């Protein structure tokens, strides 16, 4: 692992422009406390440009004691379509504060080498819940303030809202379609818990739960089994829109009409949701709320980067997108 590129340093720039390293630094960082003659300034900038000089980040950070880097940690199970928007808004907000946003995506347990060995974020944004011990320890390893997003509460809240919607429309019997993906079991449990909780509160029977695979034949079979257990009419709360698509396909393959015999409600409002037959009723995060939330979150991050104590941020709120399937 030798790398003898011969890095270009500020010493090189100083030599090339006939000044000291201090002056190079003053010029390049536009230090307002120094008065550099424009001619010298120009000479330094020119030399830096010609040599292709880039300050070596680790040296700067070592000197300063901190970086302007925010690392978002995203477990695979949290990857979902709403992320593109969140990511963009976060990044633009942080850029305004001169912070860079980068992502760690994946499986915290794979690593003998922790990324903190090569990376010094000023703040870590964790997608998930602090009560997830693996995620929590992965994230704490950075010894930086941690801002949590997408905590457990949202999971339950979505389940509750799905039931509310179905119950309001007169559905008395509720079932839950769970995903096959194993990495997402925790989230699915939570969702189901929210569904079950609300059923109890409303005096409905406890919901039947069934794993509905995304493979079409698997979906058909799963829905068949569900139908053997519980007779239509019933309302089906799906873990997310993908599972809802599988449920719709399985119901169609079993000759069940949606929403006449079975109502189906998803979650996420993926772009394809309006394109299913029938178009999918689903749950989405409230947009304006989202914007306010992100602003708050960024202020939060800034505060954390200054070492100020963190308070629990307001949770994301959530609404029904009404289409045809429920």
Partner DNA sequence: CTGAAAGCGCTTACAG
For the bound state, the minimum distance from the C-beta of residue 217 to a copy of itself, rounded and expressed in Å, comes to 9
177 pairs with which residues across the strands? Answer: 210, 238
Residues in contact with a copy of itself, shown as a per-residue x/- string from 141 to 160 under the rule CB under 8 A: x-x-----------------
Crossing angle (nearest 10°) for helices 287-305 and 83-96: 40
**Burial class of residue 254, CB neighbours in 10 A (0-12, 13-18, 19+):** middle
Angstrom distances, CA of residue 46 to CA of 34, 59, 108 = 19, 23, 45
Angstrom distances, CA of residue 129 to CA of 9, 80, 139, 194 = 43, 16, 11, 16
Q: Which is nearer to a copy of itself, 119 or 193 (CB)?
A: 119
Give the strand pairing for 100-106 and 69-75: parallel
For the bound state, the minimum distance from the C-beta of residue 311 to a copy of itself, rounded and expressed in Å, comes to 19
Assess 309 for contact with a copy of itself (CB under 8 A): no
What dihedral do alpha carbons 76, 78, 80, 83 form, nearest 10°? -110
Tokens of 215: 């493979």
Residues 55-114 contacting a copy of itself, CB under 8 A: 55-62, 65-69, 71, 76, 79, 84, 87-88, 91-92, 95, 98-107, 110-114
Residues 17-56 contacting DNA, CB under 7 A: 18-26, 28-29, 31, 34-37, 40, 53-56
Applying CB under 8 A, among 11, 34, 189, 274 the residue interacting with a copy of itself is: 274
- Pick from a copy of itself, DNA, none: which does 114 bind, CB < 5 to 8 A by kind? a copy of itself
Residues 185-244 contacting a copy of itself, CB under 8 A: 214-216, 219, 242
Residues found near DNA in the complex (CB under 7 A): 7, 9-11, 18-26, 28-29, 31, 34-37, 40, 53-56, 59-60, 62-65
């Amino acid at each position: 692992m030798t790398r003898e590129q011969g890095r270009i340093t500020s010493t090189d720039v100083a030599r090339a422009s006939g000044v000291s390293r201090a002056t190079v630094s003053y010029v390049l960082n536009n230090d307002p406390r120094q008065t550099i003659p424009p001619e010298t300034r120009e000479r330094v900038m020119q030399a830096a440009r010609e040599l292709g000089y880039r300050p070596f980040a680790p040296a700067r950070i070592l000197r300063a004691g901190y970086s302007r880097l925010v690392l978002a940690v995203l477990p695979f199970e949290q990857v979902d379509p709403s992320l593109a928007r969140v990511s963009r808004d976060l990044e633009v907000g942080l850029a305004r504060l001169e912070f860079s946003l980068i992502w760690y995506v994946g499986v915290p347990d794979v690593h003998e080498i922790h990324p903190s060995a090569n990376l010094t974020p000023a703040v870590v944004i964790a997608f998930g819940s602090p009560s997830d011990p693996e995620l929590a320890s992965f994230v704490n390893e950075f010894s930086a303030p941690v801002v949590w997003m997408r905590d457990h509460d949202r999971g339950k809240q979505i389940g509750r809202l799905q039931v509310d919607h179905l119950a309001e429309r007169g559905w008395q019997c509720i079932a839950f379609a769970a995903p096959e993906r194993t990495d997402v079991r925790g989230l699915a449990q939570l969702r189901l818990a929210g569904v079950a909780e609300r059923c109890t509160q409303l005096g409905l029977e406890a919901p039947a739960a069934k794993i509905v695979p995304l493979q079409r034949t698997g979906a058909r079979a799963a829905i068949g089994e569900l139908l053997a257990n519980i007779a239509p009419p019933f309302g089906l709360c799906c873990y997310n829109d993908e599972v809802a698509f599988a449920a719709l396909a399985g119901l169609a393959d079993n000759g069940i009409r949606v929403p006449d015999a079975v109502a189906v409600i998803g979650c996420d409002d993926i772009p394809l949701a309006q394109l299913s037959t029938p178009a999918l009723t689903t749950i989405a995060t409230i947009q304006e709320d989202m914007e306010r939330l992100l602003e708050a979150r960024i202020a939060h991050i800034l505060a954390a980067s200054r070492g100020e104590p963190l308070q629990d941020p307001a949770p994301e709120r959530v609404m029904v997108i009404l289409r045809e399937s429920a």
